[in-house]
Amino acid sequence: MTLQPNPDTGRAAPIEANGRPLTPFQGVGAVIPNGQRKAGPRVRSVAEYPLNGDKRAPNLREALRRAGLRDGMTISSHHHLRDGDGVMLRVFDEAAALGARGLVWAPSAAFPCHAPLIERLRDGTLERIEGSLNGPLGEYASRGQMAGMAVLQSHGGRYRALQDGDLRPDIAIIAAPAADAFGNCSGTQGPSACGPLGFALGDAQYAEHVIVVTDHLLPFPCAPWAIQGSLVDQVVVVDSIGDPARIVSGTTQVTRSPDRLLIAEYAARFVREAGIVRDGFSFQAGAGGTSLAFTLALREHMRALGVKARFVRGGSTRYIVEMLELGMTDYILDGQSFDLEGVRSLRDNPRHLQTNPSITYNYHGKGNVAALVDCAVLGATEVDLDFNANVVTHSDGLLLHGIGGWQDALFAGCAILAVPSFRDRVPIIKDRVTTLCAPGEMIDVIVTERGIAVNPRRADLLEAVRASGLPLRTLASLKAEAEAICGGPPRPAALTDHPIGVVTWVDGTALDTVYQVAGG
């Protein structure tokens, strides 16, 4: 495996992954596709499909067989069912039963419920997983046990990879909470309702063969359709596509962690003092502990100022649904729903809009929504003194998280990382992040429980908050304080020089390498 050092980032990135050449990262916005055409599946004819529009296959195994499942194929899927997904384990069980080997799974995200796929990696049904690795699967890869490279992409990066032909699924599996026999899909109906289905859009558009799997078959037309049946080859009806309790939570709870609440309050005060909270503004709301607490804190500041947002980018939860219903925002632009209130609102409220990674995040498009958002509060596993950040590996080197929409959302007007200065005894501010997932120029502010560091590149923000009374600090002083608490600087992660993954930037260039951890 050849790695190419990059003097600008101080990193070395692979020049190819799984037989596909990679362009090195050359700076934000530096690589413009030059005359390249979009990829796409074969052109098909209505004459190839049942005239009555009934595309049902008797079962999943038969559908895979009809799809022409062969060794080495790439199977893609979306992650709207999150940790409640009951489809993908069955897909690979059926693939194994059909004798397929060396498959590639390309999910938009993996969850702990997918840990049993380690068995499929071991028995050779799966060769590797591309796109996103979390928890147990990530740890498996980190220990050098997975063949091939883990290609880590953001949500926008994945859509771009599909569009540009870097990722060419042979078969897309679209788990749908509701569908008709023609293949129209909805995420807001049925016992396993999950909200939007936007992450499946790229799969439906660019995979050679598209199989919809549903447990709630409706008579034609299944409306409103999040995925249109004209993109779908087959429909499979199963008893259940997953565990509703783990697909969305009944009701989202705000963290009680004093430290997270403090960080969230600092972040909310920062955006207020910076003048971002004004009529018609917009923000990105996550469902993570600190993000959610930020949304609530921000809500109080909006009330105090008498200010209303034009739109909130979700992850929808009951809290932003309340804001919509109270008139505190005109719209929710929703990529995924995290609780039942989010699902209900998306289904019933015309101002609760469903989005997809094409319009929100795709960097190889004619603009995207992420860049129109005024502020976004995100997390990170590590940051360094130059505001570079890591979101995929922990300080012990283990690959435990996917990139998600993190890189894409950094294009917001004010990108804030809300992180503790240390977790238990793990300092978060490092001399050098274990894995580079975004260059420091993308990160405007780092908010910790001990103070707020503003990127010196953002002189405008610094000027705006200078007299605010907020605890403004340098990253160096925050780092020194956290290290004093933790008993000195931590030793760097013990890594081998064996690459197990590549972090790609939103434009598809190779940003950094993920290495196998030492000591098995």
Partner 1 sequence: MTFEATAGHCGPEARSDCWVRVWRPEPGTAPEVTVRSKVASMYGPSIHAQLIETRTTLGADDLSIEIDDQGALPYTLMARLEAAVRRLRPETRASALSPPPAFAGAGLVRSAERGHGLRRSRLYLPGDAPKFFINAGLHRPDAVILDLEDAVAPAEKDAARILVRNALLSVDFCGAERMVRVNALPAGLADIAELAPHGVDVFVLPKVESADAVAAAHACIQQAYAASGLLVTIETAKGVLQAAEIAAAPGVVALNLGLEDYAADIGATRTRDGRESAWARGQVLNAARAAGVQPLASVYADIDDADGFLAWARGEQRMGFEGVACLHPRQVALAHRAFAPTPEEVALASRIVEAFEAGLAAGVGAIAVDGRMVDAPVAARARRALARNV
Q: What residue ranges bind partner 1 (CB under 8 A)?
A: 256, 258-259, 261-262, 395-397, 423-426, 449-450, 477, 480-481, 483-488, 490-491, 493-494
Report, in Å, the least distance between residue 54 CB and partner 1. 50
In this structure, the chain runs to a length of 520
Please, which residue, 349 or 468, has the CB nearer to partner 1?
468
Report, in Å, the least distance between residue 447 CB and partner 1. 13
Please, which residue, 408 or 481, has the CB nearer to partner 1?
481
> Which residues, at least 6 apart from 62, have a Cβ–Cβ distance to it below 8 Å?
none
Please, which residue, 278 or 425, has the CB nearer to partner 1?
425
Which tokens hold the place of 514? 């993920």
Burial of 372 (0-12, 13-18, 19+ CB in 10 A): middle
CA separation for the pair 166, 160 (Å, rounded): 8
Report, in Å, the least distance between residue 450 CB and partner 1. 7
CA separation for the pair 448, 266 (Å, rounded): 8
Strand, coil or helix: 258: helix
Burial of 29 (0-12, 13-18, 19+ CB in 10 A): exposed
CB 150 within 8 Å of CB 143? no
Report, in Å, the least distance between residue 140 CB and partner 1. 18
CA separation for the pair 482, 426 (Å, rounded): 9
Report, in Å, the least distance between residue 231 CB and partner 1. 44
Is the bond into 224 cis (omega within 30 degrees of 0)?
A: yes
Please, which residue, 230 or 477, has the CB nearer to partner 1?
477
Which tokens hold the place of 460? 């405008």
Please, which residue, 400 or 442, has the CB nearer to partner 1?
400
CB 439 within 8 Å of CB 10? no
CB 403 within 8 Å of CB 153? yes
Which ranges of 110-226 would DSSP assign to H, the alpha helix? 117-122, 135-142, 155-164, 201-206
Please, which residue, 249 or 255, has the CB nearer to partner 1?
255
Q: What is the DSSP letter of 214?
A: E
Burial of 52 (0-12, 13-18, 19+ CB in 10 A): exposed
Report, in Å, the least distance between residue 55 CB and partner 1. 46
DSSP assignments along 463-477, one per residue: HHHTTS---B--HHH
Smallest Cα–Cα separation from 156: which of 316, 353, 330, 363? 363
Please, which residue, 161 or 475, has the CB nearer to partner 1?
475
Report, in Å, the least distance between residue 265 CB and partner 1. 9
DSSP assignments along 491-512, one per residue: PPP-EEEEEEEEEEPTTS-EEE
Report, in Å, the least distance between residue 261 CB and partner 1. 6
Please, which residue, 39 or 486, has the CB nearer to partner 1?
486
Please, which residue, 85 or 382, has the CB nearer to partner 1?
382
Please, which residue, 256 or 366, has the CB nearer to partner 1?
256
CB 501 within 8 Å of CB 512? no
CA distances 34 to 38, 153, 159, Å, are: 12, 21, 18
